[in-house]
Amino acid sequence: MSKQIRLVIADDESLIRMNLKETLTGLGYIVIGEAGDGASVIHQARLLRPDLVIMDIKMPKLDGIQAAKILTEENIAPVLLLTAYADQELVERATEVGVANYLVKPVRDSDLVPAIRIALSRFAEFQDMTNEIKDLKEALETRKIVERAKGLLMDTQGLKEREAYRKMQQTAMNTRKSLQEVAQAILLAAQLDQTLES
Protein backbone atom coordinates (compact mmCIF):
# COMPACT_ATOMS: atom_id res chain seq x y z
CA MET A 1 0.00 0.00 0.00
CA SER A 2 1.61 3.27 -1.09
CA LYS A 3 -0.39 5.63 1.13
CA GLN A 4 -1.58 4.33 4.45
CA ILE A 5 -5.33 4.57 4.60
CA ARG A 6 -6.76 6.22 7.72
CA LEU A 7 -9.97 4.75 9.12
CA VAL A 8 -12.60 5.53 11.71
CA ILE A 9 -14.46 2.44 12.90
CA ALA A 10 -17.76 2.20 14.74
CA ASP A 11 -19.61 -0.64 16.41
CA ASP A 12 -21.63 -0.60 19.62
CA GLU A 13 -19.91 -3.79 20.79
CA SER A 14 -16.42 -2.97 22.06
CA LEU A 15 -15.14 -6.53 21.54
CA ILE A 16 -16.13 -6.47 17.85
CA ARG A 17 -14.57 -3.01 17.53
CA MET A 18 -11.34 -4.26 19.14
CA ASN A 19 -11.18 -7.29 16.81
CA LEU A 20 -11.91 -5.15 13.77
CA LYS A 21 -9.18 -2.69 14.74
CA GLU A 22 -6.69 -5.52 15.23
CA THR A 23 -7.59 -7.02 11.84
CA LEU A 24 -7.39 -3.69 10.00
CA THR A 25 -4.08 -2.77 11.64
CA GLY A 26 -2.73 -6.19 10.67
CA LEU A 27 -3.77 -5.48 7.06
CA GLY A 28 -1.77 -2.23 7.07
CA TYR A 29 -4.53 0.31 7.71
CA ILE A 30 -4.36 3.01 10.40
CA VAL A 31 -7.36 3.23 12.73
CA ILE A 32 -7.41 6.88 13.82
CA GLY A 33 -10.76 6.86 15.61
CA GLU A 34 -13.33 4.58 17.20
CA ALA A 35 -16.95 5.09 18.17
CA GLY A 36 -19.71 3.08 19.82
CA ASP A 37 -22.72 4.92 18.39
CA GLY A 38 -23.83 6.81 15.28
CA ALA A 39 -23.58 10.30 16.78
CA SER A 40 -20.02 9.70 17.98
CA VAL A 41 -18.86 8.34 14.62
CA ILE A 42 -20.10 11.51 12.90
CA HIS A 43 -18.25 13.65 15.45
CA GLN A 44 -15.05 11.58 15.02
CA ALA A 45 -15.23 11.71 11.23
CA ARG A 46 -15.84 15.48 11.16
CA LEU A 47 -12.90 16.00 13.49
CA LEU A 48 -10.40 13.51 12.03
CA ARG A 49 -11.33 13.52 8.31
CA PRO A 50 -10.54 9.84 7.69
CA ASP A 51 -10.15 8.23 4.27
CA LEU A 52 -12.95 5.79 5.12
CA VAL A 53 -15.50 5.09 7.85
CA ILE A 54 -16.31 1.45 8.60
CA MET A 55 -19.37 1.01 10.79
CA ASP A 56 -22.09 -1.35 11.88
CA ILE A 57 -25.65 -0.66 10.77
CA LYS A 58 -27.27 -1.36 14.15
CA MET A 59 -26.02 1.25 16.64
CA PRO A 60 -27.55 3.36 19.40
CA LYS A 61 -28.45 7.08 19.08
CA LEU A 62 -28.20 7.02 15.29
CA ASP A 63 -28.04 3.90 13.15
CA GLY A 64 -25.29 3.35 10.61
CA ILE A 65 -27.48 4.27 7.66
CA GLN A 66 -28.53 7.60 9.19
CA ALA A 67 -24.89 8.33 10.10
CA ALA A 68 -23.77 7.34 6.59
CA LYS A 69 -26.33 9.74 5.08
CA ILE A 70 -24.87 12.65 7.06
CA LEU A 71 -21.26 11.72 6.26
CA THR A 72 -22.09 11.38 2.55
CA GLU A 73 -24.10 14.63 2.39
CA GLU A 74 -21.28 16.51 4.09
CA ASN A 75 -18.76 14.83 1.74
CA ILE A 76 -16.60 13.81 4.70
CA ALA A 77 -15.63 10.24 3.84
CA PRO A 78 -16.91 7.14 2.09
CA VAL A 79 -18.75 4.63 4.28
CA LEU A 80 -18.38 0.86 4.37
CA LEU A 81 -21.28 -0.65 6.32
CA LEU A 82 -21.09 -3.91 8.24
CA THR A 83 -24.19 -5.80 9.20
CA ALA A 84 -25.29 -9.14 10.53
CA TYR A 85 -28.38 -8.91 8.32
CA ALA A 86 -28.47 -9.58 4.58
CA ASP A 87 -31.82 -7.78 4.48
CA GLN A 88 -32.80 -6.40 1.04
CA GLU A 89 -34.53 -3.37 2.58
CA LEU A 90 -31.37 -2.43 4.50
CA VAL A 91 -29.29 -2.79 1.34
CA GLU A 92 -31.70 -0.50 -0.54
CA ARG A 93 -31.68 2.09 2.27
CA ALA A 94 -27.88 1.98 2.37
CA THR A 95 -27.64 2.43 -1.40
CA GLU A 96 -30.09 5.37 -1.34
CA VAL A 97 -27.96 7.32 1.14
CA GLY A 98 -24.78 6.78 -0.87
CA VAL A 99 -23.02 4.06 1.10
CA ALA A 100 -19.89 3.15 -0.86
CA ASN A 101 -19.92 -0.56 0.06
CA TYR A 102 -21.55 -3.12 2.32
CA LEU A 103 -20.35 -6.35 4.00
CA VAL A 104 -22.33 -9.01 5.85
CA LYS A 105 -20.88 -10.31 9.14
CA PRO A 106 -18.97 -12.34 10.00
CA VAL A 107 -16.46 -10.47 7.85
CA ARG A 108 -13.47 -12.43 6.59
CA ASP A 109 -10.10 -10.66 6.31
CA SER A 110 -9.98 -11.61 2.63
CA ASP A 111 -13.27 -9.69 2.06
CA LEU A 112 -12.15 -6.51 3.83
CA VAL A 113 -9.35 -5.37 1.50
CA PRO A 114 -11.41 -5.51 -1.73
CA ALA A 115 -14.42 -3.96 0.03
CA ILE A 116 -12.27 -1.08 1.26
CA ARG A 117 -10.72 -0.58 -2.19
CA ILE A 118 -14.13 -0.54 -3.85
CA ALA A 119 -15.50 1.93 -1.28
CA LEU A 120 -12.54 4.28 -1.81
CA SER A 121 -12.78 3.95 -5.59
CA ARG A 122 -16.53 4.68 -5.66
CA PHE A 123 -16.06 7.70 -3.44
CA ALA A 124 -13.26 9.04 -5.69
CA GLU A 125 -15.49 8.58 -8.75
CA PHE A 126 -18.34 10.37 -6.98
CA GLN A 127 -16.04 13.28 -6.08
CA ASP A 128 -14.74 13.49 -9.66
CA MET A 129 -18.29 13.58 -10.96
CA THR A 130 -19.27 16.25 -8.41
CA ASN A 131 -16.29 18.39 -9.44
CA GLU A 132 -17.13 17.93 -13.14
CA ILE A 133 -20.71 19.06 -12.53
CA LYS A 134 -19.44 22.09 -10.58
CA ASP A 135 -17.01 22.99 -13.40
CA LEU A 136 -19.76 22.62 -16.01
CA LYS A 137 -22.11 24.85 -14.01
CA GLU A 138 -19.39 27.48 -13.68
CA ALA A 139 -18.60 27.29 -17.40
CA LEU A 140 -22.28 27.66 -18.25
CA GLU A 141 -22.65 30.61 -15.89
CA THR A 142 -19.57 32.27 -17.43
CA ARG A 143 -20.94 31.72 -20.91
CA LYS A 144 -24.28 33.31 -19.98
CA ILE A 145 -22.56 36.38 -18.53
CA VAL A 146 -20.22 36.72 -21.53
CA GLU A 147 -23.16 36.39 -23.97
CA ARG A 148 -25.14 39.07 -22.12
CA ALA A 149 -22.16 41.46 -22.08
CA LYS A 150 -21.43 40.76 -25.75
CA GLY A 151 -25.06 41.53 -26.62
CA LEU A 152 -24.88 44.75 -24.64
CA LEU A 153 -21.75 45.88 -26.51
CA MET A 154 -23.43 45.05 -29.83
CA ASP A 155 -26.47 47.14 -28.89
CA THR A 156 -24.71 50.12 -27.31
CA GLN A 157 -21.65 50.38 -29.58
CA GLY A 158 -23.07 49.03 -32.83
CA LEU A 159 -20.53 46.23 -32.98
CA LYS A 160 -20.88 42.93 -34.78
CA GLU A 161 -20.85 39.81 -32.60
CA ARG A 162 -17.24 38.92 -33.45
CA GLU A 163 -16.06 42.50 -32.81
CA ALA A 164 -17.80 42.66 -29.44
CA TYR A 165 -16.24 39.35 -28.39
CA ARG A 166 -12.79 40.43 -29.64
CA LYS A 167 -13.07 43.70 -27.70
CA MET A 168 -13.87 41.79 -24.52
CA GLN A 169 -10.96 39.39 -25.13
CA GLN A 170 -8.57 42.30 -25.71
CA THR A 171 -9.72 44.02 -22.52
CA ALA A 172 -9.28 40.77 -20.59
CA MET A 173 -5.69 40.39 -21.88
CA ASN A 174 -4.79 44.05 -21.27
CA THR A 175 -6.18 44.11 -17.74
CA ARG A 176 -5.11 40.53 -16.89
CA LYS A 177 -8.67 39.69 -15.93
CA SER A 178 -10.76 36.71 -16.92
CA LEU A 179 -13.34 37.04 -19.67
CA GLN A 180 -16.02 36.53 -17.01
CA GLU A 181 -14.66 39.43 -14.90
CA VAL A 182 -14.62 41.73 -17.95
CA ALA A 183 -18.18 40.69 -18.85
CA GLN A 184 -19.35 41.31 -15.28
CA ALA A 185 -17.72 44.76 -15.33
CA ILE A 186 -19.49 45.64 -18.61
CA LEU A 187 -22.86 44.53 -17.21
CA LEU A 188 -22.24 46.38 -13.93
CA ALA A 189 -21.27 49.58 -15.76
CA ALA A 190 -24.45 49.38 -17.85
CA GLN A 191 -26.50 48.84 -14.70
CA LEU A 192 -24.89 51.89 -13.07
CA ASP A 193 -25.61 53.99 -16.14
CA GLN A 194 -29.28 52.95 -16.01
CA THR A 195 -29.47 53.77 -12.32
CA LEU A 196 -27.93 57.19 -12.83
CA GLU A 197 -30.27 57.97 -15.72
CA SER A 198 -33.42 57.06 -13.80
Dihedral angle of Cα 26, 28, 30, 35, to the nearest 10 degrees: -40
Residues of the chain with CATH 1.10.10.10: 133-197
- CATH number 3.40.50.2300 given to 6-107: yes
Residues of the chain with CATH 3.40.50.2300: 6-107
Which pLDDT tens digit goes with each residue over 111-158? Answer: 888 888 888 888 877 777 877 888 888 888 889 998 999 988 888 888
Does the N-terminal peptide bond of residue 106 adopt cis geometry, omega within 30 degrees of 0? yes
Dihedral angle of Cα 133, 3, 53, 48, to the nearest 10 degrees: -90
Q: What CATH topology corresponds to 133-197?
A: Arc Repressor Mutant, subunit A (1.10.10)
Residue 3 phi/psi, 5-degree rounding, is: -110, 130
Give the residue-averaged pLDDT of 21-29: 91
How confident is the model at residue 41, as a pLDDT? 92
Which pLDDT tens digit goes with each residue over 150-187? Answer: 988 888 888 898 988 899 889 999 999 998 898 998 88
